[in-house]
Amino acid sequence: MKKLLLLLFVMGTLQMYTQELRLKKGVVMDAIKVSDSLSESFSLFIPSNFDTNKKWPILFVFNFNGKEKQVMRLLAKTAENRGYILAASNNLKDSLSVSENVQTFSKAYNTIISMLPINNNQIFAVGFNRSARLALTMPVFINNIAGVLSYNSPISNVNILNVKKPFQYVGIVSKGSFNYLEMLRNEKELNKLKFPNELLVFDENQEWPTEEVLDKAFLIFTLSTITKSNIPKLNDFITENFEKSKVQIQQYIVANKLNKAEDLITETISMYKPFKDIELLKEEKKRIKKTKIYKSLKRAETNVFFKEKLLKDDYDYYLEEDIYTYNFNNLGWWTYQIQEIEKFKNSPNVEQQQMGLRLEAYIKALVEDNLDIIFLEKKIDNDALSFLWMLKTIISPKNYEVYLKLISHSSNNNDFGTSLFYLEELLKNGYTDVDKLYNLEHTTLLRISPEYNQIIEKYLKKGRYLIKE
């Protein structure tokens, strides 16, 4: 049974109040009220070895629209191993302004800081995807944020950073993410500014970062505060992790993954320079960069990056033009581009595979951004909306909801030919929900037409309004 910790705390919001709180160790608690007078709540994770007699590091999690609980559970294992408290406001929304979200977060922040023994030198923030932008603004509003972890989201403008009051920045990105190149550029910009930063890259193409890379991010935060706080030097801890990195470097070298070895050497030098002699690592890095294998790998990577940039520029240009001119004839060109991307994804060359994943994600993001713009307008541009939904069926042929929207939307505009075409495409791709097809909004006349029913009968044998001869 989990140990229970009973805390009595007093805090200020709109008025002073007292609350008795029963906290469980080692599990994520979802709905702790900020105060008796407010409906807002926060989630909290406290490590199993939590002790009120010491100060603890804390990581504030930023995510929107209820997804913070999912991220808390993702981080809980690493937080348990590294001895971190996790906390998140449950009321942040991407529909709110930055100032509104900051105000909402501040209420939860003040409550948590006042109720738990937190080390003021070890307060960190982490944001996933779009919410990372909000996390990156926190050091502007809260002075003692010591570090920010940004997952899959570049810094859109490095000018928001105060080089006179730096914090430890950690970026995490997959090589298959369309933000990968932008985060590489961020790393170069931050290095020029001499702003403390680390970029952690993993190969796996998945929605969430691996446990290994999350553990390293927590480690970077811990090391970054050892030299400027009252934390003991922890020599054994530092030596153990330093040696692990050196072993991994040698494994990469033996496997001829010299670009990975060079990246890890750079990362290790940056992390352990204040604590360890890193001269041998510097020599190893120089040696690697002189080898033919390394030069060949870097040349191939540079070529891929160059080609990717050209293709992205094409996508930007043609999508803007096609939306503006309602160029439905160019859907064939987009179909060809998706076929080419599939070839990249299935290439035996790993660099091309990852480029294919990035390009696919980039087009999807472009389409979603333009859809958001259309829906923000007071008057919806129906032709532009149709074009983007048609393009989505090319990009994601198994996204059935888009076909249904197109059928309904076209029928509402009396474009029954388009509705019938996308009905057939939908059924060709394996859709089987007949009830939904006969209850689609704006299709009253369409769904009793012979053509509509004949198509459903052809693929599903369930046409409801067939004319009997």
pLDDT digits (tens, 9 = 90+) for 302-314: 999 999 999 999 9
Mean pLDDT of 323-348: 96
Yes or no: say if 118 and 108 are a contact pair by the CB < 8 Å rule. no
Mean pLDDT of 372-383: 92
Mean pLDDT of 124-128: 94
Closest residue by Cα to residue 116 from 30, 42, 53, 40:
53
Mean pLDDT of 118-125: 93
According to DSSP, residue 199 is labeled E
**Which token pair is 283?**
């020599």
State percent of the chain over pLDDT 70.
93
Instruction: Tell me if residue 393 falls in helix, strand or coil.
Output: helix
Alpha helices, H only, 227-257: 235-254
Mean pLDDT of 34-43: 80
Q: 142 versus 14: which is more confidently predicted?
A: 142
Yes or no: say if 336 and 395 are a contact pair by the CB < 8 Å rule. no
The amino acid occupying position 5 is L
Tens of pLDDT along 252-293?
Answer: 999 999 999 999 999 999 999 988 999 999 999 999 999 999
According to DSSP, residue 160 is labeled G
CA-CA distance, 395 to 431, in Å (whole number)? 17
CA-CA distance, 113 to 116, in Å (whole number)? 6
pLDDT of 468 reads 64
Instruction: Give pTM, 2 decimals.
Output: 0.84
Yes or no: say if 156 and 203 are a contact pair by the CB < 8 Å rule. no
The amino acid occupying position 283 is E
Q: 153 versus 69: which is more confidently predicted?
A: 153
Yes or no: say if 419 and 410 are a contact pair by the CB < 8 Å rule. yes
Buried b (16+ CB within 10 A) or exposed e, 361-384: bbbbebbeebbeebeeeeeebeeb
pLDDT of 393 reads 97
Alpha helices, H only, 83-154: 98-115, 131-141
pLDDT of 231 reads 58
**Phi, psi (5° rounding) for residue 240?**
-60, -45
Instruction: Tell me if residue 67 falls in helix, strand or coil.
Output: coil
Yes or no: say if 104 and 40 are a contact pair by the CB < 8 Å rule. yes
Closest residue by Cα to residue 28 from 10, 12, 41, 13:
41
